[in-house]
Chains A and B, each alone.
Chain A
Amino acid sequence: AIRMTQSPSSLSASTGDRVTITCRASQGISSYLAWYQQKPGNAPKLLIYGASTLHSGVPSRFSGSGSGTDFTLTISSLQSEDFATYYCQQYYNYPFTFGPGTKVDI
């Protein structure tokens, strides 16, 4: 199975900060990479698919980039509602796998 890693595992930031989260795949996955946001007590929500395409309704302060094995999720100006855990997921090979998550808190 393809192993997904994320860094950092957690970070502390302030409203207005630019935040970057990295996701790495153990083998090339082209652009078959999605990012999800999960707030405590809630189901995950899709943010980005195809490594860089914003899901409908997701604010433009979120962006994704990368292909192959290295990917990034960037939040250009952190808002209070963005404090959450972020997961990457590859859907290139079965079994699809998630990264361990990055918790963004104050």
Chain B
Amino acid sequence: DIQMTQSPSTLSASVGDRVTITCRASQSVSSWLAWYQQKPGKAPKLLMYKASSLEGGVPSRFSGSGSGTEFTLTISSLQPDDFATYYCQEYNSYPWTFGQGTKVEIK
């Protein structure tokens, strides 16, 4: 199975900050990577797919990049609604696996 490792595990930031989360795969997943946002007690919400494609309705302050084994999710200007946990997921190799999550908390 492919191992997905996110860093950092926790990130403290302020409203308006630029935030970057990294996801590394144990082997190449090409561009077959998705990002999700999860708030406490809620289901994950799809943000990005194919590494850099924004899901409909997701604010443009979210962007994704990368290919192969290293990927980033960037929030250009952190908003109050963005404090949450973020997960990456590869869908290149069965079984599909998720990163362990990055919690973005208020500084």
The answer to whether A and B assemble together is: no
Q: Hey, which bits of chain B sit against chain A, CB under 8 A?
A: none
